Structure 1
Amino acid sequence: MAESQSPKPGLMSRIFSPKSKNQLRKLPPSQPLKASFSSHASFSSQTTSPLSSPAIVQKPLAFGAIYRPVDDNRDEQTGERRDNTELLHGLAHHESHDSSDSLAALNNQQAWRPPGERDIASLDVPLWARVAAFLSPGDKAALAFTTRTLMARIGTECWRELEKEENEREKLRFLITQDEKLPGHLLCFSCVRYHKRIQMGLESLKRKDVLNRVYHCPMVGKPEHVQPRSRIAPGWDLAFPFVQLVMRGHKYGVSTHGIPLSDLERRWVDPNSGWIHQSRYFIHKGHLLMRVSSKTFATPKLPPSGVRHLLYSREDYTPYFSVCAHWKDGELMPVCKCALSHIPENHQSLKQQLKQGPGIHMRYKNPQAIVSLCSRCRPMRRCPECPSEYLVELKLAEDKEDPVVKFKQAIVVTRWCDFGDGTSIFDPEWCAINGLEAEDREAYDSFAVMGKRAISGIFEAQNGVTMPGQRLKSLNPKRVKLGEEGDDWY
C-alpha cells in the first residue's frame, strides 16, 4: 500500500509557529551578486518544504540506448570520456610562426616551387639581359610573364615595347599565349586585345546579313574595318571568331572555352537559286577541315546564258557553290561547264518524238541513268595556291516539285578545305584560302605541303567511307593568273 501523506498544517499551528530569524540586511558593495545569490538560495531552502520538492525532468534516452549516461563529460554514443587537451593545444599553436606545423608548411611551399626556379634565381641580372637580347619583343614579354623571378630579372620594359605600332604583330603573338587562361574572353585581331564574350556558350553561326556579335568591338561600323571571315556560299560566311571558339573548345574544353564542333554544321537552301548546301566539319591533328556539298538540278543542252544563270550569282558574279579565292584562275569553271554538257536528254516516248518530227532516236527512249564524265571533268582538282580540293559530279536525284519528270540529273560540286589551327589570322592556311599575302613567308604551295595525301581522303575516312579511285590534278596547272581579265571563267 502506498504511504499516506501527512496532514496539511492548520491555521492555529501556522499562527503560533516560531518566527524566522532571517532579517533583511544591506549587502556590502564589494560582492553584491554573490551575496544576493547565496541569500536567495538560503531563503528558498528554508522556506521550501522537503515534502514539496519539484520533480526533476530528466533527459530522454537516446535512440537504442538502454542505460541513462551520467553527465560526466562522456560521449552518449560511445561512452568514452572527451579529452579537451588536444583541442586546447590546437588553439595554442593556431597561427603561430614558431610552431612545428607552420615550419612544415613553409618547407612544403618551398618544395612545390616550379622546377628550375632556384637555378633561374641563381643567375645574375646582366646574364638574363644578355639572353633576352636575342629574343623578339613578343617572346621576351612571354618569358617575363612566366614567373616573378624572371620578371624581376628581365624587367617590365618589354611589355611597354609591345604598345608601339611597329610591334603590333609581336603583341598578338604574346596575347595568343594567354588564350587558355582567359576562357571568358576572346582575342580580337582588329583591336589587338581581349574582349569579353557576351554569349558565352550560346554562340551560333548565322547568315552574314544577321547581326551576330560574339563580343563588343569598338571597330565594328567603321568604314575601314573588315572582320576576318571566309566565304562558304552566297549569304553564308565563316567568321574567324567561330574558328577560334571551336578550336579552343577542342583544346581546353567545350564547357569553358568554346563551342562544340557540331554547332557550325548547317544545311540550307538558297531561296534565289534553288541550290542545296550542306556543310560539315572535322578536326584532324589540330586543324579544322570543312566539307561543303552543293547541288542543283540542271536541264540538258543549256545555252551559254543558261549555264551562267545556273552557276553564277547575279549579285556579285560569284559561283553559287563554295569556292576559294583563286576560283577565277584555272580549270574550275570550265570543268563545271564540261560536266553540264554531258547531261543526256530526258525520257521521251516514241509518240512524243513523232510529234516533233519524223525521226526516232532510241537514246531518248531509254536514257542512261548513270552519266560518265570525260577525262577533263572527272578527276578531282586541287588548288595549288591554297588547301582546297574540288570534285564535280552528275547524280540522278528525285525532284519532288516536278510532277511529270520525277528523276533528273543534278550537278554536285563538293569542296574540301583546311582552315588551319585557328590561333591567328596570319596562319598560312587561313591566309592562302582567303587570298591574303603574308610578308614574312613564301607563297603557299599545297602540293609541297600536303603531298600525296588528299584532304578529301582524310575527311571521309572519319566515317569509314572509302572514296573511289580518283586522279588528283592541279586546278591551275600552268599557274596563269588572269583574274577579271580572263573570260574563260565566265
Structure 2
Amino acid sequence: MGPIPLSLALDPKDTAASTAPWMKTILPTFLAGIRRKTSPHASWEYSDSPSPKSDSLSSLPTELLQSIADFLPTSSAAALTLCNRTTFLKLGSKYLTSINQATVEPYTEWYQTQDQCVRPSPAQVEREKFLEQLSRDSLEFIYCYYCKKLHHPEKTGSDRNCTRCSKSIPFEQRRPCTQLERYQVHSSHLHGDFNHSRVQNLMKHYRHGRDYSNLLKPLNKTWTSYRDGFTFQQSVQCRVRNGRFMVRTQHWLLFAWANGPDVQLPDHYNLGLCPHLTSTGYTKYPGRLDRLLLCRATHPHCCECGVCCGVKACKDCPTEFQIDTKLLPEEDKMALVITTWRDFGKAQSPFEPEWEHQTHEMLNKVHPCPRFYLGEIKASYERFDFDAHQTPSMIRALQIKKAYSPTIYEPG
C-alpha cells in the first residue's frame, strides 16, 4: 500500500462523493457528522454566512490570530483553522497544507509493537494528532491507528467473509485493521465481533459523557455448543469501570462424571481464557490450565485446595480467573465453570500495554506484563457470587439432549 495523503484521511468508502476536491466534499461531510461538546444534539453548519457568535472573532485582528496560531503545534493550529468560517478565512490553508504534506504508511506489521516500528517524523506525529482531534467530536468516525484514516468503526468487521450474504473480499484488498484481525486472537477466547475499533468508539463516548449502552450490547454475547460427550457454553459481559474497559467471560464445560480419582476431561473442546491460557481437552502434555481443570474435577466438593481453588492470574497479561464446579447428580454430570476477568485498559490506542498483552502472546516477550495485585481486576469488575450468576435459562440450555448441533447464540 502506498502513502496516504490527508486528502484521503477520511476513508473514501465512507463518503458519498470521493472524487471531488476534498475541501468541498470530504471535509463538509465530516463536519456534518460532528456535534458540539456544549450541546450534543446540535450539529455543525458548514455555510458561507458567519454565525452571530463569531462576532468577537471577526473583530480580532488577523495578524493577532495568526500570531496565536504560530505558537501552537501544527495539529492544534490546523484544528483551530476548522473551528468556524471566520477562523478559516483569517488563517487560510497554511496549516492544513502543512499537515497534508506528511504522509504515512498503514500499520500492517502485526508481529511488531509500536516501539519496534520505524519512528514517525515530527510532521507525521502532528498529522496523527490532528486526525485524533477531529475524531474526538465525531459520533460516526474514529481514527484507526492501523489504517491511518478516519472511518466508521463497523468497517473493521465488514470486510471479512460473510457467509450469510455470500460476500467474499480477497485478503489483500481488505482494510489494514481487518487484515490484522486475522493474526489477533480475540475470536478464540471472546467472539468474532470483538475488535479494537468498536471498543475504541465505545470508550470515546464514555470519556465524553455520552450514552454508550447501544455500543455495549453487540459486545455482550452468550452461546451454547453441543458436541459428542460434552456441552460447552460461553458468556461474555463487558463493562467500563473507573475509565477502563473490562470483560468478564464465563465458560461452562458439562460432561459425564463419575466420582473417583480416574477423572478424564473430554476431548476436542476449545477453551481459551486469554492468549496464554488455553485447553483443548485430554492430552499427554497438559499445560497449566489443563492441570488446574483436572485437579478441580477430581475433588469438586472441596473448595480449599491450594492448587486449583481461589483466584488465579495469568503471568503474561492482566487476566484473573477462578474455577468452580456445578454438579447435576440426576444426570451424573458435572460442569467445570471457569470465570475470567480481563482488563483492556483505557483502549484509546491498540498500542497500550494492556491491549497489546491481551492481543497476541508473542508481544509479551518484548514488554513485561503490567503489574496488578491478585484479585484487583476481579474486585474492580464486581463482587462475584458464583451461585447468583446461575440463571435458569443457562442451566436449561446446558441440559438439552443433543449429541451434536450447530452453535446456538442467545441474547447477551
**TM-score band (shorter)?**
0.5 to 0.7
Which structure has the larger Rg over C-alpha atoms?
A: 1
Partner SS, residue 349 of structure 2: coil
Query: 1:198/1:283 Cα in 2 relative to 1: closer, same or farther (>3 Å)?
Result: closer
User: Partner residue of 2:381?
Assistant: 459
Partner SS, residue 307 of structure 1: coil
Partner SS, residue 282 of structure 1: strand
Post-superposition Cα deviations, 1:385-426, rounded to whole Å, max 9, x if no partner, equal 21111111222247xxxxxx3364321111110122232221
CA distance in 2, matches of 1:378, 1:207: 41
Alignment of 1:285-364 (within 5 A): 285-298=242-255, 299-300=257-258, 306-307=264-265, 309=267, 312-313=268-269, 320-327=270-277, 331-343=288-300
Q: What's the offset of the Cα at 1:276? A: 1.3
CA distance in 2, matches of 1:263, 1:106: 40
Task: Determine if contact 2:65/2:91 at 8 Å carries over to the other structure.
Answer: no
Return 5+ residue gaps in structure 2 as ranges: 1-49, 82-86, 106-119, 279-285, 388-412
Query: 1:438/1:377 Cα in 2 relative to 1: closer, same or farther (>3 Å)?
Result: closer
CA distance in 2, matches of 1:388, 1:425: 17
CA distance in 1, matches of 2:65, 2:210: 41
2:360 to 431, 435, 441: 435
Post-superposition Cα deviations, 1:209-257, rounded to whole Å, max 9, x if no partner, equal 77799xxx994289992337552546823222321343244344767x8
CA distance in 2, matches of 1:387, 1:243: 17
1:244 to 186, 200, 212: 200
Task: Determine if contact 2:74/2:126 at 8 Å carries over to the other structure.
Answer: no
Task: Determine if contact 2:244/2:345 at 8 Å carries over to the other structure.
Answer: yes
1:220 to 174, 195, 220: 174
Query: 1:259/1:151 Cα in 2 relative to 1: closer, same or farther (>3 Å)?
Result: farther
Task: Determine if contact 2:146/2:177 at 8 Å carries over to the other structure.
Answer: no
- Does 2:306 correspond to 1:375? yes
Task: Determine if contact 2:326/2:334 at 8 Å carries over to the other structure.
Answer: yes
Letter in 2 for 1:425: P
Task: Determine if contact 1:254/1:260 at 8 Å carries over to the other structure.
Answer: no
User: Partner residue of 1:271?
Assistant: 226
TM-score by length of 1: 0.49
Q: Name the Cα RMSD after superposition.
A: 4.8
Partner SS, residue 259 of structure 1: helix
Q: What's the offset of the Cα at 1:379? A: 2.9
Task: Determine if contact 1:397/1:409 at 8 Å carries over to the other structure.
Answer: yes
CA distance in 2, matches of 1:446, 1:124: 44
Partner SS, residue 177 of structure 1: helix
Query: 1:198/1:336 Cα in 2 relative to 1: closer, same or farther (>3 Å)?
Result: closer
Alignment of 1:21-170 (within 5 A): 109-111=54-56, 113=57, 122=64, 140-147=74-81, 148=87, 155-165=95-105, 166=120
- Does 2:369 correspond to 1:445? yes
Identity of aligned residues (%): 16
Q: What's the offset of the Cα at 1:452? A: 5.8
- Does 2:134 correspond to 1:178? yes
- Does 2:262 correspond to 1:262? no
Partner SS, residue 225 of structure 1: helix
Bigger strand fraction = 2
Partner SS, residue 134 of structure 2: coil
CA distance in 1, matches of 2:332, 2:309: 22
CA distance in 2, matches of 1:427, 1:274: 36
Task: Determine if contact 1:293/1:414 at 8 Å carries over to the other structure.
Answer: yes
Query: 1:108/1:425 Cα in 2 relative to 1: closer, same or farther (>3 Å)?
Result: closer
CA distance in 1, matches of 2:176, 2:64: 52
Query: 1:334/1:107 Cα in 2 relative to 1: closer, same or farther (>3 Å)?
Result: closer
Task: Determine if contact 2:235/2:251 at 8 Å carries over to the other structure.
Answer: yes
TM-score by length of 2: 0.57
Q: What's the offset of the Cα at 1:443? A: 1.9
CA distance in 2, matches of 1:264, 1:224: 17
User: Partner residue of 1:8?
Assistant: none
Q: What's the offset of the Cα at 1:269? A: 0.5
CA distance in 2, matches of 1:146, 1:161: 18
CA distance in 1, matches of 2:241, 2:147: 30
Letter in 2 for 1:339: R
Partner SS, residue 320 of structure 2: strand
| Larger RCO (alpha carbons 8 Å, 6+ apart) | 2
User: Partner residue of 1:419?
Assistant: 344
Query: 1:456/1:120 Cα in 2 relative to 1: closer, same or farther (>3 Å)?
Result: farther
CA distance in 2, matches of 1:232, 1:433: 12
User: Partner residue of 1:395?
Assistant: 326
CA distance in 1, matches of 2:312, 2:273: 12
Task: Determine if contact 2:317/2:369 at 8 Å carries over to the other structure.
Answer: yes
Task: Determine if contact 2:79/2:134 at 8 Å carries over to the other structure.
Answer: no
Task: Determine if contact 1:384/1:445 at 8 Å carries over to the other structure.
Answer: yes
Letter in 2 for 1:336: L
Task: Determine if contact 2:247/2:342 at 8 Å carries over to the other structure.
Answer: yes
Return 5+ residue gaps in structure 1 as ranges: 1-104, 133-138, 314-319, 344-369, 399-404, 469-490
